[in-house]
A and B are shown apart, each in its own frame.
Chain A
Amino acid sequence: DAKTTQPPSMDCAEGRAANLPCNHSTISGNEYVYWYRQIHSQGPQYIIHGLKNNETNEMASLIITEDRKSSTLILPHATLRDTAVYYCIVRGVDRGSTLGRLYFGRGTQLTVWP
């Protein structure tokens, strides 16, 4: 699986958009980009995933560059409850390999302040 690089920490004012970057320059053509978040002392929560098109759901938007070497998770109106560690993960869909393994790095600690 491709390695991802994220900044260790970011801040955001409540009500503003939080833009979390992720670099995955070695991503291959069939690998998806996944985002999870983990609020302190809880299990990780799935946010969104995409292959090459931009994606949006009720939680966030995912913008993937045309060359797919980086992506940005956007929380359009951050709240205090969005304070968490955000993990960017690149995972292939080759079911012949180690099934469904997600490689979690250290992620980005997002702090939303009032």
Chain B
Amino acid sequence: DGGITQSPKYLFRKEGQNVTLSCEQNLNHDAMYWYRQDPGQGLRLIYYSQIVNDFQKGDIAEGYSVSREKKESFPLTVTSAQKNPTAFYLCASKRGDQETQYFGPGTRLLVL
């Protein structure tokens, strides 16, 4: 089955630690996105990538980094510079010629 997967479902971070969230898709989609969602809020864009080896900052990129070495993978690293990382992180992808985005199940990050 084609789809978009995120792992892990829950992730715990200690103070000063970098953590990496995985996002993989086998839909052959060109574009991929990372969003952050805080309780009771909408989604805010962190980073997005239109093609391999290219990505752009979204609205809240500070404290985050990404890479796009393969078309199907778009990992997000939450660095120690992100002072309030506790949130629900969502990855999405879409075909280049369409506007509909398809979302993964999300990763919930908690700070210990």
Q: Does B71 interact with chain A (Cβ within 8 Å)?
A: no
Question: DSSP majority for the A interface?
Answer: loop
In-complex Cβ contact of B101 among A32, A42, A100 (8 A): A100
Interface size class of A (residues with CB under 8 A): 20 to 34
* Interchain CA distance A107-B90 in the complex, whole Å: 17
Q: Does A43 interact with chain B (Cβ within 8 Å)?
A: yes
Contacting pair B106 A100 (CB below 8 A): no
Interface residues of B in 83-108 (CB under 8 A from A): 88, 90, 92, 94, 99-106, 108
Question: DSSP majority for the B interface?
Answer: strand
Contacting pair A106 B40 (CB below 8 A): yes
Contacting pair A87 B99 (CB below 8 A): no
Contacts of A49 in B (CB 8 A): 99-100
Interface residues of A in 62-114 (CB under 8 A from B): 87, 91, 93, 98-107
Question: A42: nearest residue on chain B (CB-CB)?
Answer: B105
Question: B100: nearest residue on chain A (CB-CB)?
Answer: A46
Contacts of A99 in B (CB 8 A): 31, 48, 50
- B residues bordering A, Cβ < 8 Å? 6, 31, 33, 35, 40-43, 45, 48, 50, 56, 58, 88, 90, 92, 94, 99-106, 108
15 A-B pairs (CB sep. < 8 Å): A34-B99, A41-B106, A42-B105, A43-B6, A43-B106, A44-B90, A44-B92, A46-B101, A99-B31, A99-B48, A100-B99, A101-B48, A102-B43, A104-B43, A105-B42
